[in-house]
Amino acid sequence: VAASSAGPTLKWSYTAQSNLYAPPLIADMHPQPGLETVLSDADVRVLRCVDAHGAQVWEYRGKWTKRLTSGASLSVTAREGQGTLLVGNPDGLLCCIDAATGKELWTRRTGPLSWGAALWTDLDGDGKYEAVAGTEDALVAMTAAGEPHWSYGPEVSPPLSINCPIGAADVDGDGRR
C-alpha cells in the first residue's frame, strides 16, 4: 500500500494458504526491480518470497513438523554480496536460505524457536555476521556456514525460557554487538 495525503492505495495483493503469525520481511533480495516480501505461511509450513507486484518468486519448504510461527531475518554480509535468510521453527530446526533463490544453504537443530526469530549479527567485531537463535531453553550462536560457535542456557539456573524475538546492538560504540 502506498501512503499519501490522499490516503493509501492498493498496489498488489497476495493470498497465502494459511495464517500469517510472523511479521513479513520486506527488502530488496532478488535481482528483479523493487522490494520483495518474505512471508511465513504458518499452517502449511512454507516460507514464500513475493515480488513487488504480488507474484510469488520462490517458496521454501523446510522439513518442519510444526507450523511456521517465526519470521525470517536477512543478512547481506553473512555471504559477501548475497542475501541470506534465517528462519527457525518450534520443532527445533533453524534453516539458512539464499534470499534470491530460496535454496537451502544449511539446516541445524538448535532447539525450539517459538514466536521469536533468529538474527544475524557480528558478535566479535571481525566484520563477519554470525547466526544467533533464541530457543526455548538456550541462546545459540553459529557461523554463517552453520558451524557451532557457542551456546548459553541449558546449564544456567534459573533456566532460560526465550519465547520472544531477540535483538543485538552495539550499545557502547566499540564496534561489537
Q: Are 176 and 124 in contact (CB under 8 A)?
A: yes
Cβ atoms of 40 and 71 within 8 Å: the answer is yes
Q: Is the peptide bond before 158 cis (omega within 30 degrees of 0)?
A: yes
DSSP of 127-168, one letter per residue?
Answer: S--EEEEE-SS-EEEE-TTS-EEEEESTTSSSPP---S----
Q: Is the pTM of this model over 0.85?
A: yes
Which residue do the cell numbers 538448535 mark? 110
pLDDT for the residue numbered 45: 97
In this prediction, residue 2 carries a pLDDT of 62
Task: List the chain pLDDT tens, one digit each, 177 residues.
Answer: 566 677 788 889 999 999 999 999 999 998 888 999 999 999 999 999 999 999 999 999 999 999 999 999 999 989 988 999 999 999 999 999 999 999 999 999 998 887 777 999 988 888 889 999 988 888 899 999 999 999 888 677 776 777 777 778 777 776 665
